[in-house]
A and B are shown apart, each in its own frame.
Chain A
């Protein structure tokens, strides 16, 4: 699983930092998403996936690692 974030789209709702705190944080100054780990460990993947799902602005982009065969 690979992750990227679009700070232009982010509205700072904080859902990602709440749902997957090991993977996302918010910039203390502007409140926008900070990606802590673009290739989260297995234990954090479910939370990261949910964070992408609940992000209200679609600022989190999730893709399966190349060659992983994931849909």
Chain B
């Protein structure tokens, strides 16, 4: 089994030029050598890369694999534990202590109740687009404001703070600024959230953050939780909306199907999630020796999981590289799997269903305003795949 085992040098994350929707070529090639191959981490440590759907899913559900940040064995220096509240990088029971108080705030039912408000926010963005002429950058006019306004309202960020707050989040999530500016943006966001938590504690309002001050969580922990909700809840959805629109515009027959039968939207959102897999790198560290797909992953070794290739696994999906809005939903890993599966997934789904539909309804002649291959992609340093801007145009009525 071990003869000439395929090895990948660090985790390739760059998608090929001209193929902004497809997994990086090196990952696809690696998958050709089997669902688990060797990988060397940036610090030179031996690791594994898992590209196949079934194996990725089984590792994510396996408590013998840890999410703890301080156990990551990928760089040649010690990584500190996750700060209080940042439960994505923790294991149970710690993880559960943070997640449990949040779960009831993000149920399917509660998110459905938000639909009307999300429709309003979307309509306002589209009104502003229409009023400004016959072209726009869809990222700044549509993809970013909708999830930002929604998550700010859920958390209870006051309206007057939104603009500066969005700028800070943009800076620390966008992967486009230098280290110094990145640290400054991160620090400013942290400070802002600390003040916000203190304000909610003193004067609770009708929002999730105020409700959470009723739990046994400390201010420091609430700040960490807020940061997770913001980072995960805003940047991912924003990129799905922009990259998703770009993908639909590049697949006119799919766009036409969706316009013709709006009831396809729920499935279309799942298909875009699968097809685009915007979240990049996920890692787990083995707590003991574990056999994965016939290979021995030794205790302390960090494995890298590729949702990109897992969601395009030909053993799992028929014609996986085809975007098909009519594909029946039967699971994908875009929201991960196991105990860390996305808490905000129902919110993300509703935002996408509402926003894509409203956009297509409102602008029947929507088209790219630059040659398709000139749409600028986000830099490789960003955590989430997406476009920097999406110039679009339409016929004025």
Contact = CB atoms under 8 A, between A and B. Distances in A.
A20 B168 CA distance: 40
A29 B104 contact: yes
Interface residues of A, number: 22
A12 B339 CA distance: 9
Contacts of B110: 28
Nearest to B328: A50
Interface stretch (A37-45, A54-62, A63-71): A54-62
Interface string A20-50: 0100011111111000000000000000001
B343 interface: yes
B330 A13 contact: no
A47 to B, nearest CB: 11
Contacts of B338: 56-57
A56 B336 CA distance: 8
Nearest to B332: A54
B308 to A, nearest CB: 19
B187 interface: no
B140 interface: no
Given A14-B345, A18-B108, A25-B109, A31 B103 contact: yes
Interface in B318-351: 330-331, 335-339, 341-343, 345-346, 349
A63 B330 CA distance: 20
Contact of A17 (B108, B335, B341, B342): B108
A56 B107 contact: no
A66 B55 CA distance: 32
A17 B110 CA distance: 12
A50 B109 contact: no
A30 B339 CA distance: 16
Given A11-B339, A50-B330, A31 B345 contact: no
A12 B107 contact: yes
A58 B61 contact: yes
A13 B341 contact: yes
Q: Which of B61, B107, B337, B343 has the most CB of A within 10 A?
A: B107
B339 A14 contact: no
B106 interface: yes
B388 interface: no
Contacts of B378: none
28 contacts: A11-B99, A11-B341, A12-B103, A12-B104, A12-B106, A12-B107, A13-B341, A13-B342, A13-B345, A14-B108, A17-B107, A18-B108, A18-B346, A21-B108, A26-B109, A27-B104, A28-B104, A28-B109, A29-B104, A30-B103, A50-B331, A54-B331, A56-B61, A56-B341, A57-B61, A57-B338, A57-B341, A58-B61
Interface of A: 11-15, 17-18, 21, 25-32, 50, 53-54, 56-58
